[in-house]
Amino acid sequence: MEDKVKNAINDIRPSLQNDGGDIEFISLKDDIVTVRLVGACAGCPMSQMTLKQGVERYLRETVSPTLEVVSLN
Confidence tier at 72 by pLDDT (50, 70, 90): confident
Domain that holds residue 61: 2-71
What is the pLDDT, as a whole number, of residue 4?
97
What is the pLDDT, as a whole number, of residue 73?
63
What is the pLDDT, as a whole number, of residue 2?
95
pLDDT digits 0-9 by tens, 4-55: 999 999 999 999 999 899 999 999 999 999 999 999 888 888 888 989 999 9
Residue 7, domain CATH? 3.30.300.130
Rounded distance between C-alpha atoms, residue 65 and residue 58, angstroms: 10
Count of the separate structural domains present in the chain: 1
CB atoms within 10 A of CB 59: 22
Amino acid at 57: R
DSSP 5-49: HHHHHHHHHHHHHHTTEEEEEEEEETTEEEEEEEEHHHH-TTHHH
